[in-house]
Structure 1
Amino acid sequence: MNRKQIPLVAFALLVSSCAVGPEYSAPQDTVGSAFLNQDVTGVDAQGGLVSANWWLNFNDPVLNQLISDAQNQNIPLQVAAERIKSAEAYQKAVASFKVPTISLNAGATSYQISENDPLAGPLVTPGEFSGLTGGDALIDNQYDFTTVSANISWEVDVFNRIGYQAESAAIRAEQVAIARSALLTLISSDVINNYLQYRGADQRKDIANETIASQQETLKLVSSLVKSGYASELDLAQAKAALSATRSTLPQLEIAKSVHQQRLAILLDTSVAEIGQRLAKPQPAPEFSGLIPIGMSSEILKQRPDIQLAEREMAAINADVGAAIANKYPKFYLTGSPGLLAGDFSDLFSKDSAAWVASVGASWTIFDGGRSQALVEIEESRFQAAALNYENAVNTALNEVETLLFAFGRSQELETLVVQTRGHADTAVNKANSLYKAGLVDYISVLDAQRQQNLIRDSEVAAHLQTAQIITGLHKALGGNWKVK
C-alpha cells in the first residue's frame, strides 16, 4: 500500500458510523389516565393490563381447547411465523454489508502460447530471434502455476447509510412479529365469537323445540275443544299458525349452527366432522365471571398491536430518511487480494510466493439533477404520513374502548331487564292457560302469552350473547398478549 493512501484509510476508519440522519424518539402521547365510561359493572379500572388466557373466565373447557388448538394449527398463523423468519433473515443479510466480505480462491493453471499467435507467436518460436537468443525461443510457450488467494472488500460505512438500512430492516422484522401477534388476537377472538354464536343458536333451537312441543299439546287441546263445540275454528287456525311460525325458525337456526361450525373448522384447520364431535354435547352459551381489568387509557398505547405497528412504522421510516440523507455523501471502499503464487506446488507456501493487491477508493455523486434530495423529501413525507397514521390509531383505539365500555354497561342492563321480563312472561302464560281451561278467556289470549314468552326467551339468549361478544371485543380493544400459556 502506498504511504499516501494510509491517511485516507485511517480517516475512513475514524469517521466510520458518523450518522447524518435524524435521531428518533418515540412519540409521547398526552392522553387522560381514566376512561369516561369506566364506572360500569364488571370492570376493574385499577386492574392493570389484560392478562393472558382471560377467556378462562368463561369456565368452558371446550372453548379453552378450541383456542389452544387454533393458535397451534391455524394456517395463517403458521404463514405469519414463516414471515417472521424471512424478515429476520433479511435483517441479517442487510446488516452483513457493514462488515468486510472475504472469499477464498485456489486453483492450478496450465497454458500454452501458440507459435501461430500473430502477436506472441514470434516470442515462443525457436530461431525467430536467433541473433539475440542463439536459436532458442525468447520465452517459453508453456507455463504451469498454482495460486491460493483471498478477496477482501469492505464499504466503510462512514455516514451510517448501511447502518440505517440495517436498522430499518430490524424494525420491519419487529413489525412482522407484532403483526403475527395481532393476527393471533384476531383468530382467537374469532374462535370465541363463533363458539358463542354456535352455542347460542343451539340454545335457541332447544327453546324453539320446547315451544313447539308445548304448542303441539295446545293444538291437541284446541282440536278436542272444537270437536266438543267449546272452541271455534278460528282458535284452531290460530293454534296451527303459531306452531308453523315456530317451526319456521328451525331451518334458520340450523343454518346458523352450520355456518359457525364451518368457520371453526377453518380456524382450526380441521374437518367439520371433527368440530361436530367436539360440540356434540349440548350446553348453553358460557357465562363470563370475574372483572375486566382496563387499567389507564395510556397503557393501551403500549399493548395495542395496531398502535405498536404505527409507532414502529415511524421508527422504520425515520431510518429510511437517514439512509436517504447518507446516500448523498461519499462512499468509501477498501479492497485487498492477498495470496500465494508459484510455478511449482512445492514452492507455493514459501515466503517468496507471497503476492498481494490492495486499493482504497471513494465514490461521490456530485450532481444528479436533484434526484438525491427528492428521495430524501419522499422519505420525510412518508414519515409525516406515518406520524399522522399513528395519531389516528391512538384516537381510534381510545374511542373504540370508550364505545365498548358504554356498550358493556348498557348490555348488562338489557340482560337484567330481559330476565325480569322473562319472569313476567312465564307468569302470564301460566295465568292465561289457567283462565283458558276455566273458560274465562279465549285462546287468542293464550297464544299471545305464549308468543310473548317465546320472544322473551329468545331475546334472553340474544342479550346474553351480545354481552359475551362485547366482553370479547373489549378485551380485543384493550390489546395485550393473547398467547396461550
Structure 2
Amino acid sequence: MISLRYSSLALLLMLAGCVSGPDHVPPQMPLPAKFTEGGAKSNNDVSTTRWWTAYRDKQLDSLVARGLSRNLDVQQALEEINQASANVVTAGAGGLPSLDLSASHTVSGEKGSLRTTTGTTNTTTGEASASWLLDLFGRYRRATESARAALDAAYASADDEKLSVMKDIVSSYIDARYYQERIALSNANLKSRLETYDLTKQQSSAGAASRLDVVQAEGLVQSTRSEIPGLENSFNSEVHHIATLLNMPASTMKAELRKDAAQPVFNGTIQAGVPADLIRNRPDIRKAERELAEAVANIGVAEAKLYPSISLSGSISPSRVGSTASNAGSLTSWSFGPTLDLPIFDGGSLRADVDSARSKAKTAYLAWKDTVNSAAEDVENALSAIHRDAEAEAALRNQVKTAQESLRLSTMSYKDGASSLLDVLTSQRDVSDAQASLAEAIQTLAKDYVDLHVAIGAGYRSQEATLNSAAPAATP
C-alpha cells in the first residue's frame, strides 16, 4: 500500500503541472491574396530594407542613420525594453523559494553606585528563514508568460518608434527641399519680372507703353517678392524639426542644409508585397499580437487566484548568551510547516477579475484585427496615391514646358509691339503657377513612397542588429 506521505507528494507533483487559463494561440484573419493595385508576389522580410537610399541622396542617408541612433523617442522606447525585461524577473520570482538570513550581537550590563553590580552579558543570535509558495495552478507561470509577452511588445514598440522617426525625418527632408525649390523658382521668377518691369519702363518712356502697364508690371514684381519670406519661414520650420528629431542644435542643421539641392525623387521600384506580409513585417501588428498574448496569460493569473494556495515556510534561530565564553549557554529554536490559503467568500471580486481579464483579452483581439485592417488600408492608399500622383507629375512637366514656350513667344511679340504687356504678365503667371504645381507634385510623389514603405513595415531594423541578435521577440 502506498503511504499517505508518498500519495500527498504525488498529488502535489500533479497539481504543480496544472496551469490555469487558456493558452495563447496566434490569431488569424482572412486576408485577400493581393492588394487592389499590387502584385501577388510576397515581399518576405523587409525589416532591413534601406528603402530611403533609392532617393540617391547621401545627405538623406546620413540624416536617417543619425536619427535612429540619436532620437530621444527611440531611446525612450529602448529604455522601456529594459523595464519590461526587469518585470519578467519580478513576475517569475514569486514562484521561487526565498531565503533570508539575519544575525545580531548585543552587549548588555548595569553600572552604578550600588554595592551589587552585574557583569557584561553578550548575546549572539542568528536566524535563517525560508519560504516557498507552491505554484499549484500556474499563477506565477502565467504571470511570467504575461511579462514575457509584454517584453516582446516593448521590442515591437521600439521598432514601431524607429519606423515613425524614419518617416518623420525623410518626409521633413523632402518638405525642406521642396521649399528650397520654391524659393529658387521665386527668385528666378523675380528676376524675369524685374526684366519685364525695366522693359516696360523703357517703353513707357518711349511712349510705347502706358502708365497702367508699368504699374501692373511693378505689382507682379512685388507679389513675387512677398512669396519668398513665407517660403523661407517654412523651410526653417522643417530644418528645426529635423534638428529636433536628431537631437542636435538647429543652427548646426541649418548650416548643413543651407546649400540648395534637388528635390528628392524615388528611383526604386514598387514592391508592396501581399497583405499577409504585413502580419510579419509591421511592428505595430506584432505589438498588438503580443499585447493579446499578455492579456490571455492574465486570464490564467486571475483564475489561479480562485483556487487554494499552499506555502511552505520554516526557520531556524540559534542563540548564545553569556558573560564569557566559558559560561555561555546556547539555544536553537526552529519551526517548519505548510500554510493553506483558501478563498471562501470575497463578494465575487475574484470571479469579476476573471471576467474582466477575459474581456480585456477580447478587446486586445479586436484591437489586433483593427490594426491589421488599418495596415492594409495604409498600403492600399499609398499604392493608389503613387499611381495617380505619378500621372499628375508627368502632366505637370508637360504643362511647364508649354507655359515656358508661351512666355517666350509672348515676350518676343511684346518687344516687337505685336501684343500687349498683359499677355506677357499672364504668361509669366502661368509659368510660375505651373512650376509651383510641379514642385508640389514632385514633393507629394516622393512622400507617397515614404508612406508606402512605412505602411509595409520596411527598414526599421539594421542588418547588423539582425545578424547579431536572435529575434528578441522570440522569448521562450
Q: 2:145 — aligned with what? A: 167
Q: Which residue of 1 aligns with 2:432?
A: 454
How big is each residue's C-alpha offset from its partner over 1:202-259, in whole Å with a ceiling of 9 and x where there is no partner? 1110000000001101111110001111112222122112111111110110110111
The 5 Å alignment of 1:177-196 reads 177-196=155-174
Give the counterpart letter for 2:409 in structure 1.
K
Residue ranges of structure 2 left out of the alignment (5+ in a row): 111-115, 464-476
Q: Distance in 2 between matches of 1:246 and 1:465?
A: 21
What is the aligned partner in structure 2 of residue 425 from structure 1? 403
CA distance in 1, matches of 2:41, 2:186: 40
Supply the distance in 2 between the matched residues of 1:8 and 1:186 (Cα, whole angstroms). 57
Partner Cα distance (1:325, 1:111) in 2 = 53
In structure 1, stretches of 5+ residues that fail to align are 114-125, 127-139
Could you say which structure has the larger radius of gyration? 1
Match of 2:88 in 1: 91
Aligned to 2:446: 468
Match of 1:367 in 2: 345
Q: Which of 322, 325, 329 is matched with 2:303 structurally?
A: 325
Residue equivalent to 2:24: 24
Instruction: Spell out the pairing of 1:346-357 with structure 2 (5 A cutoff).
Output: 356-357=334-335
Does 2:289 align with 1:311? yes
On the 8 A contact 1:17/1:163 being kept in 2, the answer is: no
The 8 Å contact of residues 68 and 166 in structure 2, kept in 1 or not, is answered as: yes
CA spacing shift, 1:346–1:34, aligned 2, 3 Å: farther
Task: Check the 8 A contact 2:153/2:288 in 1, yes or no.
Answer: no
CA distance in 1, matches of 2:14, 2:358: 29
CA positional deviation for 1:187:
1.1
2:234 corresponds in structure 1 to 256
The answer to whether the aligner puts 1:229 opposite 2:210 as a matched pair is: no
State which of 64, 67, 70 in structure 1 corresponds to 2:61: 64
What SS does the aligned partner of 2:153 have? helix
Distance in 1 of aligned mates of 2:77 and 2:245:
14
Cα 1:346–1:149 change in 2 (3 A) is: farther
Q: Give the structure 2 partner of residue 406 of structure 1.
A: 384
Q: Tell me how far apart the structure 2 counterparts of residues 15 and 143 of structure 1 sit (CA, whole Å).
A: 51
Q: Select 2:354's aligned residue among 357, 361, 376.
A: 376
Cα gap change, 1:233/1:60 in structure 2, threshold over 3 Å: closer, same or farther? same
Determine helix, strand or coil for the equivalent of 2:340: strand
Task: Report the residue type matching 1:423 in the other structure.
Answer: K
8 Å CA contact retained: 2:400, 2:435: yes
Structure-to-structure mapping, 1:271-286, within 5 angstroms: 271-286=249-264
The secondary structure found in structure 2 opposite 1:52 is coil
Misfit runs of 4+, over 6 Å: 3-6, 140-143, 344-347
Aligned to 2:49: 52
Code of the residue aligned with 2:83 in structure 1: it is S
1:141 deviation in Å?
11
1:219 is matched with: 197
Maintained 8 Å contact 2:41/2:274: yes
Alignment partner, residue 278 of structure 2: 300
> How far did residue 379 of structure 1 move?
0.9
In structure 2, give the amino acid aligned to 1:25: V
Report the equivalent of 2:217: 239
Q: 1:362 to 1:110 in 2, by over 3 A?
A: farther
Q: Is 1:149–1:338's contact at 8 Å kept on the other side of the alignment?
A: yes
- What TM-score does the superposition give when structure 2 sets the normalisation length? 0.89
SS in 1 for 2:94: helix
Aligned residues: 451
**SS where residue 432 of structure 1 aligns?**
helix
Residues 5 and 343 from structure 1, CA distance in 2 versus in 1: closer, same or farther, beyond 3 angstroms?
Answer: farther
Contact 2:183 2:231 in 1 (8 A): yes
Q: Between 222-231 and 74-83, report the one with greater CA deviation.
A: 74-83
Distance 1:480 1:58 in 2: 15
Aligned residue in 1 for 2:469: none
CA 1:327 to 1:463, structure 2 compared with 1: closer, same or farther past 3 Å?
same
Equivalent in the alignment of 1:80: 77
Contact 1:53 1:483 in 2 (8 A): no
Letter in structure 2 aligned against 1:411: D
1:130 maps to what in 2?
none
Q: Distance in 2 between matches of 1:84 and 1:308?
A: 15
**CA distance, structure 1, for counterparts of residue 129 and residue 4 of structure 2:** 23
Preserved contact between residue 51 and residue 458 of structure 2 (Cα < 8 Å): no
**Residue of structure 2 equivalent to 1:12:** 12
Partner-residue secondary structure (3-state), 1:195 = helix
Q: 1:178 to 1:283 in 2, by over 3 A?
A: same
Pick which of 335-344 and 53-62 moved more.
335-344
Give 1:176's match in structure 2, choosing from 148, 151, 154. 154
- Whole-angstrom distance in 2 between the partners of 1:335 and 1:14: 21
Once residues 49 and 295 of structure 1 are traced to their aligned partners in structure 2, the CA distance between those partners, rounded to angstroms, is 10
